């Protein structure tokens, strides 16, 4: 399993994964990602876990500036409570470890 930042060409397999998840919502989709990018100019940072060309986990973030101007990552602004999508505990742990490294950068 590879955990990395989502690439543009991953959109189809990400949406396929989102469609297959019971806890998924419109807020996980690539269409919502585009709405937030286009409307607010936020940079998306979607972390995906991929195995055998299939997504196994997804954690979406957006980089925003706080009131002080400092950059920070938030998961899915302007949305309701949204679950981190994953197929197993191992996938969850790997995505969380990668997200911690990403946040530090």
- Comparison of pLDDT for 1 and 80, the residue scoring more: 1
pTM listed for this prediction = 0.87
42-82 pLDDT, tens digit each: 999 999 999 999 999 999 988 888 888 888 888 877 777 77
> How many domains does the chain fold into?
1
User: What pLDDT shows up at residue 71?
Assistant: 84
Which CATH number does the domain housing residue 88 bear?
3.40.630.30
User: What pLDDT shows up at residue 76?
Assistant: 76
Cβ burial 51-60 (10 Å sphere, 16+ → b, else e)? eeeebbbbbb
Question: What is the secondary structure of 45-82 as a DSSP string?
Answer: EEEEEEETTEEEEEEEEEEEE-TTS-EEEESSTTS---
Query: Whole domain around residue 62: which residue ranges?
Result: 2-104
5-50 pLDDT, tens digit each: 999 999 999 999 999 999 899 899 999 999 999 999 999 999 999 9
């Amino acid at each position: 399993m590879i955990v990395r930042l989502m690439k543009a060409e991953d959109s189809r397999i990400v949406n396929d994964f989102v469609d297959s998840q019971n806890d998924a919502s419109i807020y996980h989709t690539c269409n919502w990602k585009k709405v937030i990018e286009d409307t607010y100019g936020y940079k998306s940072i979607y972390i995906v876990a991929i195995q055998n060309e299939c997504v196994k986990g997804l954690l979406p973030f957006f980089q925003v500036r706080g009131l002080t101007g400092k950059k920070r990552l938030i998961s899915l602004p302007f949305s309701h409570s949204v679950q981190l999508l994953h197929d197993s505990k191992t996938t969850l742990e790997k995505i969380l470890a990668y997200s911690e490294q990403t946040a530090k950068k």
